[in-house]
Amino acid sequence: MQTLHVELGDRRYPIFIGSDLDSQQLLAPYISGKQVMVVTNTTVAPLYLEHYLDALTALGKVVSTCVLPDGEQYKNIEHLNLIFDALLSAGFNRDCTVLALGGGVIGDMAGFAAACFQRGVYFVQVPTTLLSQVDSSVGGKTGINHPLGKNMIGAFQQPQVVLADMSHLKTLPKRELSAGLAEIIKYALLGDTEFLVWLEQHMEKLLAGDPILLAEAVYRSCAHKARIVASDEKEQGERALLNLGHTFGHAIESYLGYGNWLHGEAVATGMVMAADLSERMGWISTVDLDRVKKIIQSADLPIVCPKIPLDEFLAYMAHDKKVLNGQLRLVLLKQLGQATIGSDFDVESMHQAILANQQ
């Protein structure tokens, strides 16, 4: 087992990374109060819910569950209310803990519920997908989608602890594994060329689910994110770099309908669009752009999206959270391993980059 910490002063918390983690022992110091609400979904519950219920019960906790339907299309206010219904029906108080057992959708919704219920209760993350282990479970971003924009309604709610158990990835569908690799590739492109080389060398084994290599990839990704979150918790500056490919990707997700493309798939194509625009701006070379496309394809991820009318694509981009004072800001690549955010890009080149990476 490896351990990282997100350094946020008195809200400092650990990330435990390994296989077959002793969840009872690791959770014990971080579950406050007697009441625990486990939020999960219909896919994860049959696989792992019983294990965590046993662990929490052995700790003397009073445990209730809220099982939501599985899918990005359910990440909305209607299904968020089901968590509040469960908390209120079970008579939970403000000393309770909400434990998210699932992927990014469950983590985002359970965390948002924890931020809102009685104006804030304790929160624990047990991510069961690769994407949630390397990205959404770390850093405290929580929220739900709106028809006009992804993740536009939410709150910052840092967890008490994150348990990233590689054994949970054994049941992960191949498509979901690839989606998680998109976020891992993101960390390499925006800030770590050595990691990029490592990924290029090991992608085949990562796709095959090698637990040791996956643990290393999760550790390196989380270390990168933990450092950035510690320096910019509320995304006032550097943390926005973690959105490489996301402004384009969120537009793809929103247009196609939440759940039709996985978040990682949309981000993968979004990163190609960002790299394409960076090449058109003269910041990276054609060789660099081809390298971005190659590693994304090697992870079984798409590098083009279905045809989307440009005006509709731009309309969704206009609802992005990084729009500031009416100006769209994008995360682009000055070079591989060095990202920048701003409005210093040619709009026509952006249009060309969008249109060039559709089919």
Q: Phi first, then psi: what are they for 40, rounded to 5°?
A: -145, -170
Catalytic residue among 150, 168, 186, 239: 239
- How far is 223 from 121, CA to CA, in rounded Å? 26
- Return the half-sphere exposure (C-beta side, CA atoms, 13 A cut-off) of residue 23: 26
- How far is 318 from 75, CA to CA, in rounded Å? 21
Asked about 250 being catalytic, the answer comes back as yes
- By CB atoms closer than 10 A (0-12, 13-18, 19+), residue 116 is middle
Location of each CATH 1.20.1090.10 domain in the chain: 174-356
- Amino acid in position 211: P
pLDDT value at residue 325: 66
Catalytic residue among 79, 246, 321, 322: 246
pLDDT value at residue 354: 98
HEC secondary structure over 212-228? HHHHHHHHHHHHHHHHH
Contacts of 69 (CB under 8 A, 6+ apart): 41, 42, 79
Asked about 243 being catalytic, the answer comes back as yes
Structure tokens at 111: 């965390």
DSSP 8-class letter at 309: -
Asked about 334 being catalytic, the answer comes back as no
Structure tokens at 306: 């279905």
Asked about 263 being catalytic, the answer comes back as yes
Task: Report the relative pairing of strands 149-156 and 162-165 from DSSP bridges.
Answer: unpaired
Catalytic residue among 61, 168, 224, 250: 250
Location of each CATH 3.40.50.1970 domain in the chain: 2-171
For 5, the 3-state DSSP assignment is strand
Asked about 141 being catalytic, the answer comes back as yes
Asked about 119 being catalytic, the answer comes back as yes
Structure tokens at 142: 């929580």
One CATH from 1.20.1090.10, 1.20.1630.10, 2.60.40.420, 3.30.70.920 for 174-356: 1.20.1090.10
Asked about 41 being catalytic, the answer comes back as no
Catalytic residue among 183, 233, 265, 279: 183
pLDDT value at residue 86: 98
Catalytic residue among 41, 145, 151, 243: 243
Asked about 321 being catalytic, the answer comes back as no
pLDDT value at residue 321: 67
Catalytic residue among 79, 150, 224, 225: 225
| Domain 2-171: assigned CATH number | 3.40.50.1970
pLDDT by residue for the chain (359 residues), tens only, comes to 999 999 999 999 999 999 999 999 999 999 989 999 999 999 999 999 999 999 999 999 999 999 999 999 999 999 999 999 999 999 999 999 999 999 999 999 999 999 999 999 999 999 999 999 999 999 999 999 998 888 889 999 999 999 999 999 999 999 999 999 999 999 999 999 999 999 999 999 999 999 999 999 999 999 999 999 999 998 888 889 999 999 999 999 999 998 899 999 999 999 999 999 999 999 999 999 999 999 999 999 999 999 999 999 999 998 876 676 678 999 999 999 999 999 999 999 999 999 999 99
Catalytic residue among 61, 75, 79, 141: 141
Of 158, 75, 79, 150, nearest to 115 (Cα)? 158
Predicted model pTM = 0.93
H-assigned helices in 20-103: 23-27, 50-58, 77-89
Catalytic residue among 72, 176, 233, 235: 235
pLDDT value at residue 61: 98
